Structure 1
Amino acid sequence: MFGNYFKTAWRNLVRNKAFSAINILGLALGITCSLLIILWVQDERSVDGFHTNGKQLYQVYERNYYDGKIDASYPTQGLLAEELKRVVPEVQYASSLDYAAQAGSSNTFEAANKINKMQGSFAGEDFFKMFSYHLLQGKAETALNAPNVIAISRRMAEQFFGSVTNAVGKTIRFDNKEDLQVTAVFENVPANSSVQFDFLRSWIDYVKQNDWVHNWGNTSPSTFVQLRVDANPAKVGEQIKDFIYKYQQKDNTFRMELALQPYAEKYLHSTFKNGYVDGGRIEYVRLFIIVAIFILLIACINFMNLATAQSARRAKEVGLRKVIGAARFSLIKQFIGEAMMLTFFSMIIAFTLTVLLLPAFNSLTGKQLSLPFTEPAFWFSLIGLLLVTGFIAGSYPALFLSSLKPIRVLKGSLKFSGGATFFRQAMVVLQFSLSVIFIAGMIIIYKQMDYIQTKNIGYDRENLVYIPIEGDLVKNYELLKDEATKMPGVVSVSKMRNSPTVIEHHTGSITWPGKDPNLTISFADGVVGYDFIKTMKLQLMDGRDFSKDFGADSIAFILNETAASRMGFQHAVGQTVTWGNHPGKVIGVIKDFHFNSMHQAIDPLIVRLDENWNWGTILVRTEAGKTKETLSGLEKICKELNPKFPFTFQFSDQEYTKLYNSEQVVSKLSDYFAFLAIFISCLGLFGLATFTAAQRTKEIGVRKVLGASVPNIVSLLSANFLKPVAISMLIAFPIAWYAMNQWLQGFAYKVSIDWWVFALAGLVTVCIALITVSYQSIKAALRNPVKSLRTE
């Protein structure tokens, strides 16, 4: 019986080559898209899932109540981890973690006459007990429990010492100022770890080098805890809520709370709303899952439409089978089986396409995805995808064909009911509704990304170079500045803590005459050198920049517009502001500029002068068109002044673009998905147009004999297909508006959703649909009517 079903299915597939090809290609593209997204989603969900103690691991975050609002963030106090472990019995292990260099930078190492840069962090002694980063040499208990020690990766060990076994016990020089002993070597950190590092230094050294950690009002590192197996996380969360006030007095204007977040959830849920975890990368995971379902659904709808449209060709077969005793259930099995066979062929093509497209997909998403052939779960997913797709695609055609009445079919009086015609039209509407949503979304995402890239962010990010302050550049900064400014191509040089792209430091210790004692405002705070405004090309609204001509500038401040406004100053220049215990005059007000991503509103900013600040970024403004020659000259100067460190730099515009990596990926993928959705939809429309033209051959011939022109016939055939496309736009526009409006809410600065976006999306869709249908319509209209009327 099954052999007979297979032969029938195969003959039907071969007999209708065009329809079979359209169905197989449509399903193959839909399945390919689904496979790629499944791999991406699995990879996203696997991040940080390899830790053995994952269920007991938590990250501590801080919730702040001030200025009438609630904020939350991950930076915590420098001594918090040690104190939580000491005071809270349910905490088995605890560790702090903070970068060894400023975010985005790296440290310089020297050993065995080799110099290279590596990225890493400081970590507590419990780190390797808590997290499953496999130690190849050394022990978790002793890897980070002493000063001046370091644990390094396999990559770093092989690079500096030749092998893993040779590294332990050896000495390596850190930033040309400390000698550290290698106590452990760990396996290279896997790609599915949210924390990436090539080395870890002892937290003992971090505390020794940073006096500020003893002030419980200062925050910077992340804090992780591992609770005991029998601990109640909710109870522990209540215990630590007011933990900070064991070490400092309460302030009615600024209240701090600690809270716990499961570490395994942090990667996908890392944004806050009103002080609580709310969204993050999980939103993109959900988005891509919906996209995969939609595109696969569009492909399945193609199958349903074409299969039911062709039912007239299968009607007599169904009638004969029923007359000789075939039950309806056996017919359903047969047609579902045919759908499964087509889906199987599509799956083979999709599998091949996935293998071919995976390198490009990895490049686009920044992943290292591969097909997990050895994992049973992958094959179960494939089988599940095959069965679900085949069943969905074949269900309605099977039910429809098996319901045909044999007497009517064999008499040749088969006519499509209103319900069947309506179903096909509804499916076309659904297909194109999804396509229009994709196109409108693509346009809006493009608008937002273009807005981000072209908006005046308050400073000129073109021709601005960042050089990290490290090694001998700390003491030789003045000399470097003097030499660099003499070079042709250099406009100006300055310095600042962190970089203009990310100013993370904040303080609430700012007071001024007339300040409400019950109000605490969080100010972003910057530390800069002379010529900062000139080098950044900031717009000075009032006053002046820091200058060597004024000795009192060492205790003066510059504010941004938002800071001056929040302080209530109409004329801020000349006003006295106190930062901590240090009063000073405001000498300038600068126009607001973006020093974080556009997801965040611009904070009040206060800037002070410190030419002797011993870390951060040197800013070099170059002349347009002379950057390459300037960099060559800067490299020569840096090698002379800082010979133990490789010359490194970043471009400001590239660093700015990195803030929107996720959005860039979504933007590019939305382009491809929109194209794929409309292409698959048009495949189905093309197939239906072909079938309709064939069914109406005699009618077209009669109309031509009676005098109908080619444009009349083309418009007649096209109108039936453009009606559902027009209806789809009415359905899609409000859905697209709502979905994209929700996405834009994640940006503090965003584009408006204009009416023309939907007009353009609709016009593109209609044009593509018209081109698709017109080919078959014109072909049918141009056919010789004599041949058409001879056809029986």
Structure 2
Amino acid sequence: MFRLNLKIALRNLWRNKVITSINIGGLAIALAAFILVTMYFTYETGFDKENPNYNEIYIVGRQLPDFKTNYTPPPLGKAIKAEMPEVVAVGTMKMSFFEFPVSSDHGVVFLSKCLYLDYAAAKMFNIKPTVGLTKPESTTENLFYLSNENYKTLFPHNKNGQPEMIWLGSKSANMTGKLSGSIFADPHSNITFDAISLMKEVGIGENYGYNNYSTYIQVKPGTDIQELEAKINTLYKKEMLKNGEDPNNETFKATKAFLDPLKNQHLKPKAGTDANYKVLIALSVLGILILVIACINFTNLSIAQATKRAKEVGVKKVMGAYRFQLAFQFLTEILIQCLAATILGLIMAEIILPKFNNLFVVNLSIWVANSALFWQLPLILIFITLIAGIYPAMVLSGFKPALVLKGNFQTSKQSYWLRNSLLVVQFSVAVVFIIGLLIINSQLKYMRTQDIGFKPEQVVYIKNLAYFVSPSKFDPIRDKMVKIPGVKSVTVTNALPDGSDSGKNKYTVDGKEQSLSFTDVDFDYFETLDIKIKEGRTFSREFKTDTANSAILNEAAVAKYGLTSPIGKTIKGCQNKEYKIVGVIKDFKALGFEKAVQPTIYAINDPCGNPKTEIMLKIEESKMSEVLSTLKSQWPEINKLDGDNFRYQFLDEMYGKLFKKQEQLQSVFFAAAILTIFIAILGLFAFAKYITTGRMKEIAVRKILGASHLQIFKLINSSFFVMVLIANIISWPLAYILTKKWLETFAYRIDLPLFPFLISAVLTILLTIVTVSIQANSAVKANPVDALKYE
């Protein structure tokens, strides 16, 4: 019996090649997209899950009046370990993003993510060197390890990761060091690095004023986290008071410690952005919707073809077949189609995967031994078979033998309304994607064309090893670079305007204390970036006090203090250092468009600032290549510490990376819009073919009675036109809510335009009319005699 049913199934599929191809092709396209989304979702939600202590690790953060941060002082970890019995381990670490070269006789690598951590942190995160994890014997001992990838580059013949000697910086500087070995850097972890410096204890001698470390704790299973968080907050306040903090200070009162689980750190940390989480959710919803649309197509077309199987069902029921047997037969047919679609979808996913990896900067692979896809795919196959096939199977197996064998069969009103409803749902989803794509395009266009307040074009950032604390240290290097024809200006700073956070400190003006971002700069900083001055002046060599105690605020900082005449006022900062405000600059979007401009203070001399290492040059556009070539050849003379390691980046390219997430979303919506429209049009094409074929006799009679071609086209298109119009009306409110929510994630955004809503309606209606008219054309041109000769 099974063999007979299989033959019947294959014969029916072959007879309806067009419908079968549309079913399998549409489902395969949707499955390819869904497979990629499933792989990406599994990857993004799997960070650090290999850690045996995954559910017991938390990071200690601080909530301040204006922001949250995961950076804490190093003594806090010691205090938590000593006071909290439910905390079984405390690990402290600090990441350095300062790039420096390390070389051997075989090559050179540039390290930009060097992780300083203590032994407890290494154990907590299961970080193991190739030669085994060794605890440093003293607080002065420092074990330095390279990631396996970097180690192999420098020592390709050392397969065991043994200790080696290396050069730090330029070889000509002859600064050597001992490499303790290699270490595995898990790319699927929140703790990433290209080198680590392992110490017995991190942050020795630093007090509660050094808030630039990450403190992780491992708790006992079953610990009440809210209670522990309250205890840590009380302990933190007590330790701060011991350190000399004023208990009446408003900032101190508003500051509190919090705990954030390790599982939150990649996608939605309390302190940080949840952009990755939003993109993942958007991508997952799109993948599910595309698959749902394909299943709707499948269901619609299967119901539409029900009349062709009616007599077969009637005969089988007369011969004694039960309904569940017929339902099983039709589900088997659908399973065959779904299986073919799954295989085709896998092939498509494999072809698309390289571009997908490039877009999302991941390295996913379908054919990996431990891939979750091997158990997810059978579940997906069963799911789509049931979703796409259960209703058609019930409809087909439920025909009444007496009616269908008399030829009086017609599908029920319920099936009619279901088919039309599913078609409306398909186009509703497509309209949402079209509107979303157009609004994302408008926001990105706004971001690319809006005045950001500075000009990163023709500004080159040169990577450098030297620290420039004062202008006198930087002047000899500046003088050499300025002499190169084509160099317009040169400066150095501690932070680039590329979305980087330069840090915050407390500053007081007229007795009012506020947290401000601070950027340590040098002469010509504002001129190099073409930042406009609002009032006062920029730093100048003509004023000797500028290198000692002058400061410049931005408009946001002036507004935060409520100053009306800021020039000449005194602002007190770190270590009670007093600055005289000499200028106010116009706000510029150093952090991009998602975050508002931060209130910022700029100074040349900052006792609590970060080292100034970021060299920037403004170069004439016509002489860019010549200047860079000259700099490379002269760099060993200009900056001996770097020697022949001349590296640079263009600032406008670095700033453009701030748009990366939105560009990803744009690409996703573009693909989703194309796929949903394509699948919906495929379904509409097949559905229109079925409807038109079923009305051939009606069309023939109307032609005989004098109906024109235009009237018949109008007749066939009218019902589809109404359905697409209803789809637009349904989807507009949903699209409005979703796009409005998305735009609210930007501090600087467009007003929600009406144009995308109108475009989506016009586009979907035109596509519907064209698609249906193509199918109706053959019926309109047919000879009425051919349709009526057997009547």
TM-score under structure 2 length normalisation: 0.92
In 1: Cα distance, 2:164 partner to 2:83 partner: 37
Deviations 1:619-641 (A, max 9, x none): 11122343222222222332322
Seen in structure 2, the aligned counterparts of structure 1 residues 373 and 143 have a Cα distance that, compared at 3 Å, is: farther
Seen in structure 2, the aligned counterparts of structure 1 residues 443 and 90 have a Cα distance that, compared at 3 Å, is: same
1:677 CA drift (Å) = 0.8
Query: What pairs with 1:391-540 in structure 2 (closer than 5 Å)?
Result: 391-471=386-466, 477-513=474-510, 515-516=511-512, 520-540=513-533
Gaps of 5+ in 2: none
Secondary structure of 1:126's aligned partner: helix
Seen in structure 2, the aligned counterparts of structure 1 residues 167 and 353 have a Cα distance that, compared at 3 Å, is: closer
The question of 1:77 aligning with 2:73 is answered: yes
In 2: Cα distance, 1:618 partner to 1:432 partner: 53
Give the conservation status (yes or no) of the 8 Å contact 1:137–1:164: no
Seen in structure 2, the aligned counterparts of structure 1 residues 87 and 660 have a Cα distance that, compared at 3 Å, is: farther
Give the conservation status (yes or no) of the 8 Å contact 2:93–2:115: yes
In 1: Cα distance, 2:282 partner to 2:97 partner: 35
Deviations 1:229-288 (A, max 9, x none): 57543333222113333143334311322111121221122255xxxx995533333222
1:223 CA drift (Å) = 1.8
Match of 2:197 in 1: 201
Secondary structure of 1:714's aligned partner: helix
In 2: Cα distance, 1:109 partner to 1:205 partner: 24
In 1: Cα distance, 2:138 partner to 2:159 partner: 18
Match of 1:561 in 2: 555
In 1: Cα distance, 2:212 partner to 2:354 partner: 38
Give the conservation status (yes or no) of the 8 Å contact 1:468–1:649: yes
Query: What pairs with 1:160-559 in structure 2 (closer than 5 Å)?
Result: 160-164=154-158, 168-175=162-169, 179-187=176-184, 189-202=185-198, 207=203, 213-214=206-207, 216-229=208-221, 231-245=223-237, 246-247=239-240, 248=243, 249=245, 250-254=247-251, 255-271=254-270, 279-375=274-370, 377-471=372-466, 477-513=474-510, 515-516=511-512, 520-554=513-547, 555-559=549-553
Deviations 1:158-215 (A, max 9, x none): 222345567544333434686543334212x23212332121114579747xx7x42x
Give the conservation status (yes or no) of the 8 Å contact 1:493–1:621: yes
Larger deviation: 474-483 or 120-129?
Answer: 474-483
Seen in structure 2, the aligned counterparts of structure 1 residues 721 and 544 have a Cα distance that, compared at 3 Å, is: same
In 2: Cα distance, 1:449 partner to 1:87 partner: 51
1:404 CA drift (Å) = 1.8
Larger deviation: 455-464 or 607-616?
Answer: 607-616
Secondary structure of 1:522's aligned partner: strand
In 1: Cα distance, 2:713 partner to 2:55 partner: 65
In 1: Cα distance, 2:58 partner to 2:566 partner: 45
Match of 2:103 in 1: 110
Larger deviation: 636-645 or 349-358?
Answer: 636-645
Aligned alpha-carbon RMSD (Å): 2.5
Give the conservation status (yes or no) of the 8 Å contact 2:457–2:651: yes
Match of 1:716 in 2: 715
In 2: Cα distance, 1:185 partner to 1:7 partner: 61
Deviations 1:287-322 (A, max 9, x none): 222212211111111111111111111111111122
Match of 2:726 in 1: 727
Seen in structure 2, the aligned counterparts of structure 1 residues 373 and 603 have a Cα distance that, compared at 3 Å, is: closer
In 2: Cα distance, 1:140 partner to 1:231 partner: 30
Secondary structure of 2:463's aligned partner: strand
Deviations 1:551-605 (A, max 9, x none): 1112111111111122222222222222232222211111111122322211211
**Count of residue pairs brought into register by the alignment:** 772
Seen in structure 2, the aligned counterparts of structure 1 residues 113 and 370 have a Cα distance that, compared at 3 Å, is: closer
Match of 1:743 in 2: 742
**Which of 605, 621, 626 is equivalent to 1:624?**
621
Give the conservation status (yes or no) of the 8 Å contact 2:551–2:583: yes
Give the conservation status (yes or no) of the 8 Å contact 1:92–1:226: yes
Larger deviation: 589-598 or 668-677?
Answer: 589-598
In 2: Cα distance, 1:93 partner to 1:566 partner: 41
In 1: Cα distance, 2:196 partner to 2:148 partner: 13
The question of 1:98 aligning with 2:74 is answered: no
Match of 1:133 in 2: 127
Give the conservation status (yes or no) of the 8 Å contact 2:435–2:757: yes
The question of 1:122 aligning with 2:116 is answered: yes
Give the conservation status (yes or no) of the 8 Å contact 2:446–2:750: yes
**Which of 567, 579, 587 is equivalent to 2:582?**
587
Q: Which amino acid aligns with 1:252?
A: N
In 2: Cα distance, 1:393 partner to 1:774 partner: 28
Give the conservation status (yes or no) of the 8 Å contact 2:551–2:580: yes
**Which of 128, 134, 143 is equivalent to 1:149?**
143
Give the conservation status (yes or no) of the 8 Å contact 2:499–2:658: no
Q: Which amino acid aligns with 1:688?
A: F
In 1: Cα distance, 2:760 partner to 2:138 partner: 58
Seen in structure 2, the aligned counterparts of structure 1 residues 346 and 774 have a Cα distance that, compared at 3 Å, is: same
Seen in structure 2, the aligned counterparts of structure 1 residues 61 and 201 have a Cα distance that, compared at 3 Å, is: same
In 2: Cα distance, 1:789 partner to 1:144 partner: 100
1:614 CA drift (Å) = 4.4
Seen in structure 2, the aligned counterparts of structure 1 residues 336 and 167 have a Cα distance that, compared at 3 Å, is: closer
Secondary structure of 1:631's aligned partner: helix
1:487 CA drift (Å) = 2.4
Give the conservation status (yes or no) of the 8 Å contact 2:463–2:646: no
Match of 2:565 in 1: 571
1:133 CA drift (Å) = 2.9
Match of 2:761 in 1: 762
1:461 CA drift (Å) = 1.7
In 2: Cα distance, 1:665 partner to 1:80 partner: 39
Seen in structure 2, the aligned counterparts of structure 1 residues 25 and 230 have a Cα distance that, compared at 3 Å, is: closer
Seen in structure 2, the aligned counterparts of structure 1 residues 664 and 8 have a Cα distance that, compared at 3 Å, is: same
Secondary structure of 1:659's aligned partner: helix
In 2: Cα distance, 1:372 partner to 1:241 partner: 48
1:343 CA drift (Å) = 0.6
Give the conservation status (yes or no) of the 8 Å contact 2:147–2:182: yes
Secondary structure of 1:748's aligned partner: coil
Give the conservation status (yes or no) of the 8 Å contact 2:477–2:639: no
In 2: Cα distance, 1:143 partner to 1:330 partner: 75
1:731 CA drift (Å) = 0.7
Q: Which amino acid aligns with 2:665?
A: V
1:417 CA drift (Å) = 2.7
Give the conservation status (yes or no) of the 8 Å contact 1:101–1:107: no
Match of 1:657 in 2: 656
Larger deviation: 246-255 or 535-544?
Answer: 246-255
Give the conservation status (yes or no) of the 8 Å contact 1:147–1:205: no
Seen in structure 2, the aligned counterparts of structure 1 residues 473 and 657 have a Cα distance that, compared at 3 Å, is: same
Match of 2:752 in 1: 753
